[in-house]
Amino acid sequence: MNDGKILNYKINFERPRPNILDKVDYPTWTELEFKQCDNCPLNTQEYSHCPVAIDAKEIILGFKEILSCSIADVRVLTPEREYLKRCDAQTGLRALIGFVMATSKCPILSKMRGMAHYHLPFTSVDEIVFRVTSSYLLTQYYVYQEEGKADWKLVGLKKHYKDMLTLNYDFLQRIRAASEADSNLDVLSTLFSISSLISVSLEQHLQEIKPLFC
């Protein structure tokens, strides 16, 4: 950060843990029943905590006093390459928390694990549309190979992002209980906007990038 503060996070793609955790070890806002998402398929008998909240806990606490407009030098190091960007805290946090959410044990978000494996930080809207559509169509190809009914019209993709709209909105209520500044809130608001864009105007954006492929 410009003020000299340094935040380091190492995120493993696989993060196995028991479904039932000791509540005294984690903040109340991470418990599954605390502002649980309306469309959450998990139940409190099998899961004590929200998988996303547990995975994102250290990140959220680290950013809770940082304003979204604060400038930082962000370095993302993966086994394949390194990314560097001087940007506001919100942009860096979105790259980080987006990856964490997509690789969590959340049944809704885990549908994006394939795309997360080839994570691209700091993506533009066009890149997001290209990546989510390509990833979904590859999934449908595998469905087709297994003699299932492939969804070439992207109906399931639009539905998935409608589910994401609900999830992002509800998860934002959790973050409000943990945040003292606005970085975490702005990131969830941005993810909410992206989900809305894909669920409502996906066709429009696909037409905009069509000349690149036809």
Q: What is the pLDDT of residues 27-54, one digit of tens each?
A: 999 999 999 999 999 999 999 999 999 9
Q: Has residue 17 been placed in a domain?
A: no
The percentage of residues in the chain with a pLDDT greater than 90, rounded to a whole number, is 57
Residue 22 CA to residue 38 CA, distance in Å, equals 24
Condensed to tens digits (0 to 9), the pLDDT of residues 106-119 reads 999 999 999 999 99
Domain span including residue 172: 23-212
Q: Has residue 114 been placed in a domain?
A: yes
Q: Has residue 9 been placed in a domain?
A: no
Q: Is the Cβ–Cβ distance between 137 and 156 less than 8 Å?
A: no
Condensed to tens digits (0 to 9), the pLDDT of residues 118-169 reads 999 998 888 989 999 999 999 999 999 999 999 999 999 989 988 988 888 8
The pLDDT assigned to 66 comes to 78
Residue 97 CA to residue 191 CA, distance in Å, equals 10
Both structure tokens of 37: 């998402």
pLDDT at 97 over 90: no
Domain total for the chain?
A: 1
Q: Has residue 4 been placed in a domain?
A: no
Q: Has residue 134 been placed in a domain?
A: yes
Q: Has residue 18 been placed in a domain?
A: no
**Is the CA virtual torsion 98, 9, 91, 137 positive or negative?**
negative
**Pairwise pLDDT comparison (80 vs 165), residue with the higher score:** 80
Task: Please choose, from the candidates 124, 122, 105, the residue with its C-alpha nearest in 3D space to the C-alpha of residue 19.
Answer: 105
Q: Is the Cβ–Cβ distance between 102 and 115 less than 8 Å?
A: yes
Residue carrying structure tokens 């696909």: 206
Q: Has residue 87 been placed in a domain?
A: yes
The pLDDT assigned to 180 comes to 60
Condensed to tens digits (0 to 9), the pLDDT of residues 177-188 reads 776 655 555 666
Region 62-79 average pLDDT? 86
Q: Please list the alpha-helical segments (H only) found in the chain.
A: 51-63, 89-102, 113-117, 125-145, 155-178, 183-209
State the pairing for strand pair 71-77/82-88: antiparallel
Both structure tokens of 212: 């690149």
The mean pLDDT value of the chain amounts to 88
pTM of the model: 0.84
Q: Has residue 196 been placed in a domain?
A: yes
